[in-house]
Chain A
Amino acid sequence: MKELAGSIGQSLLFVLAGVARLWELGAAVASYTFLSFFKKKVIPRETLFHQMVLIGIDSTAIVSLVGASVGTVLALQAAYSLKTFGALMYTGSLVCVAMARELGPLIASIVISGRIGARMAAEIGTMMVQEEVDALTTMGINPIRYLVVPRVLALALMLPCLTVIVDVMGMLGGWAIGVTGLGINSTLYIAKSVDALCLKDIYTGLLKSFIFSILIALVSCHQGLSVSGGADAVGKATTQAVVISIVLIIVVDCLATAVIYYALPT
């Protein structure tokens, strides 16, 4: 019993310490971002744009593919249940609302945490191992400002955009299945979708994706910066970055949904 309590306490402390370190990193990033409004050359622009291209443009194809697939699957599965109630024509509303509120931000974030989060952790981790981060420090360049800030900002700008792409592709996928496979009239499908969807669905989804983007970038950069040792440590940090990001995304998603749709007045 004593041992159990001890190990629970220990893991709790471990988690709290991790949260505190993330918070610290986040605060540093926030203060540099704030500072950049008043001072030139706080954010290295080249890195920012390079990361934006890498995250945004280079991920468009994979994110679209995954989005369309999810929309298709959702339409097929929804139709199966809805048919029993004779409510097949509501497939469109279900797909659109689910994509905009939940699946769009979630799918985009998970794909990006695997694609970009892992990359950030591995890149910064390798820089740690090869003393490149020390080199920055000795040049009087703060590694958080130089490496972490542009990555966080790039992801925070691009993930909501990618989420819009996933939303749209998912809806298109659902529509394609609805019209061809399920035999719903195209005009009816679109009309039902537009009826069901309201603005709040879309902006809460985008807000969520923004929060997730910050989480992914902070967790991944933090994992990268805590690498010490060699290739083994880089591998571990990369895995950790993805696992922790995905777990945090889902936990925060639960909380955000509860707050947005149940705690706040509608």
Chain B
Amino acid sequence: MSESEQTVIEVKDLVKRFGDLTVLDGINVTIPRGKITVIMGGSGCGKTTLLRHLIALHQPTSGDIFVDGKNIVGLSEKDMNDVRRKFGMLFQGSALFNSMTVGENVAVPLKEHTELSPEIIRIIVRVKLELVGLTGFEDFMPYQISGGMKKRVALARAIALDPKIVFYDEPGAGLDPITASMIDRLILDLSKKLNITSVVVSHEMKSAFRIADEIIILHKGKVLQVGTADEVKNSKDSYVQQFIHGESEGVIPFKQTSEAYLKGLLST
């Protein structure tokens, strides 16, 4: 494969400002095809904002994003919807439609984007639910199932149209460790079985090391490090080390010195 074929998404000099606040400050990353890329960083480092740019829910202040070599910045809604056909997205809170059953939720993209008959759609829905281990749950309502199951239904919905790329926003958030690791297994499984490119936004180190082919660490709107799990583990960067080991004291101070504290209090 040539280099351009190995890259699915390329982000160039991406800058995003909300008013005076610069959330993304010149991001350059490439997402390799068929691999699992994990975007990591502390809360508020801009990782979710970056993800929302990749699926064009936000428009950047400046910079370009190429999906399969096509710039998606400033694309018309119709053209963007064609690009979105390649995407599946798992939202942090699952984002299932609460007024519909599990089966209807998975069927939404199929009904909207294909001309398939209801019988065929029912079969596809069953197959997708089986892929995430939820056979027989078609007629449940979202509020009747657990958080982990909701995530899996949302995943089934995300892969309903056989996307090439699936985005995951904090897949393990709000789940117990066992369920979270089950979701991780599912991500690994799907990307192998269906040859899907996965982009995972997460702040959980354990999960990231388990699934990642490549890890991108963001800090204060900039890319701090890109590399495999081992490269990140052995990084010399002190912030990366602090982050990996989850220490409250480090380059980012938790406590201030008493003078600095006093100064801060009196400055306003």
Residues in A lying within 8 Å of B, measured CB to CB: 41, 127, 130-132, 134-135, 137-142, 146
Contact = CB atoms under 8 A, between A and B. Distances in A.
Chain B interface extent, by class = 20 to 34
Contact of A132 (B55, B82, B89, B97): B97
A139 B96 CA distance: 12
A38 to B, nearest CB: 16
B81 interface: yes
29 contacts: A127-B97, A130-B95, A130-B98, A131-B91, A132-B95, A132-B96, A132-B97, A134-B91, A134-B95, A135-B89, A135-B91, A137-B57, A138-B57, A138-B84, A139-B84, A139-B108, A139-B109, A139-B112, A139-B113, A140-B81, A140-B84, A140-B85, A140-B112, A140-B113, A141-B108, A141-B109, A141-B112, A142-B77, A146-B112
B92 interface: yes
B69 interface: no
A180 to B, nearest CB: 46
Given A138-B84, A138-B89, A140-B84, A131 B95 contact: yes
B85 A138 contact: no
Nearest to B160: A139
B93 interface: yes
Interface in B100-134: 108-109, 112-113
Contacts of A131: 91-93, 95
B168 interface: no
B55 A138 contact: yes
A232 to B, nearest CB: 17
Contacts of B87: 138
Nearest to B83: A140
A138 B91 CA distance: 10
A146 B100 CA distance: 14
Contacts of B81: 140
A130 B93 contact: yes
A15 to B, nearest CB: 24
B111 to A, nearest CB: 8
Contacts of B93: 130-131
A140 B86 CA distance: 10
Contacts of A135: 89, 91, 95, 97
A241 B163 CA distance: 38
Q: Of residues A41, A132, A142, A146, which shows the largest number of chain B Cβ atoms within 10 Å of its Cβ? A: A132
Contacts of B97: 127, 132, 135
Nearest to A133: B95
Contacts of A127: 97
Nearest to B96: A132
A131 B95 CA distance: 5
Nearest to A134: B57
A230 to B, nearest CB: 12
A137 B91 CA distance: 12
A227 to B, nearest CB: 15
Contacts of A130: 93, 95, 98
Nearest to A146: B112
Nearest to A138: B89
Nearest to A137: B57
Contacts of B96: 132
Q: Of residues B85, B112, B113, which shows the largest number of chain A Cβ atoms within 10 Å of its Cβ? A: B112
Contacts of A41: 112
A215 B57 CA distance: 28
Contacts of A141: 108-109, 112
B167 to A, nearest CB: 8
A146 B99 CA distance: 14
A142 B91 CA distance: 18
Contacts of B85: 140
Contacts of B82: 140
A29 to B, nearest CB: 15
B58 to A, nearest CB: 10
Contacts of A132: 95-98
Contacts of B109: 139-141
Contacts of B55: 138
B119 to A, nearest CB: 17
A206 to B, nearest CB: 31
Q: Of residues B57, B92, B95, which shows the largest number of chain A Cβ atoms within 10 Å of its Cβ? A: B95
Contacts of A139: 84, 108-109, 112-113
A138 B93 CA distance: 15
B184 to A, nearest CB: 21
A41 to B, nearest CB: 7
Given A135-B89, A140-B82, A140-B84, 20 more contacts: A131-B91, A131-B93, A134-B57, A137-B57, A138-B55, A138-B57, A138-B84, A139-B84, A139-B108, A139-B109, A139-B112, A140-B81, A140-B85, A140-B109, A140-B113, A141-B108, A141-B109, A141-B112, A142-B77, A146-B112
